[in-house]
Amino acid sequence: MANLPTKFRKSSDFNVSYDFLDFDEGLGYRTYYAADGNNQQNLIVTNEAICSELPFRTSAAITTTPSWQTAIEEDFDITFNLPKNVRGTIFAVIPFGVSNNEAGSFPCRITATFIHFDGSSETVLGSGVSSEMLMSTASSPNEIDSAIALCKFIQTSVKHFKKGETLRVTIKMEVASQATEINVFAGIGIDPKNRNPSIMQYILSGSSIAQVIEDGDVTQTAFYVPFVLDI
């Protein structure tokens, strides 16, 4: 009996793992977490067991005005050690909050901008903006109000990243005022392990870092990135 031809499916030389799959779209998603370490550097990790040194990125005190003000603007770089093809919906889930010692209500919003960085120049792929959320604080000291933003951007065509290139996510938090100007601290949670703020210490060079996430609320910022499957 003659030997029958055998087809072998094309396979990568590397074992690639994904956190979840979208077979209908031919995509595999990896999850990346924002973190703090190396003396207040913005880091990216892929394991929820890792703890940040500081659980928040917090602004200096800001006096709100009727116009939008940028409280914080931070870059988080996902650098690829192998060539990657990105296509589909990129999600950014970002906990944020405010702290003050004055009573007041004021709107906040989060923008996540997704950027291709080749080591020397940036190309903006697109961005997602959260709803405007009304934050409220009472007059007691260090009153906190926090929420979660979901920002997304759809990369409709395949975007190729060469080895060593970066998907940069820039997170911007803006605040404004409604009737009266008040002083606030604002920030985002960046603890991969998602620890409760009440069990963490946040002291830097003898100065306290303002807590901006309520006890029991989420402190983990996560980015969900879709890659084209080799199928």
Query: Are residues 34 and 95 in contact, defined by beta-carbon separation less than 8 angstroms?
Result: no
The predicted pLDDT at position 13 comes to 43
The predicted pLDDT at position 8 comes to 44
- How far CA 165 is from CA of 77, 117, 161, 170, in Å, comes to 10, 6, 6, 16
The predicted pLDDT at position 46 comes to 96
Secondary structure element (H or E) that encloses residue 95, with its range: strand 84-100
Please indicate, yes or no, whether the overall pTM of this predicted structure exceeds 0.85: yes
Domains of the chain in start order, with CATH, are: 33-228 (2.60.120)
Q: What is the mean pLDDT of each run of 10 residues along the chain (231 residues)?
A: 50 68 94 93 95 88 89 97 96 94 84 97 97 82 87 97 98 87 88 83 58 91 96 75
Q: Hey, what are 25's tokens?
A: 């779209």
CB atoms within 10 A of CB 211: 21
The amino acid occupying position 50 is I
Q: Hey, what are 37's tokens?
A: 């370490």
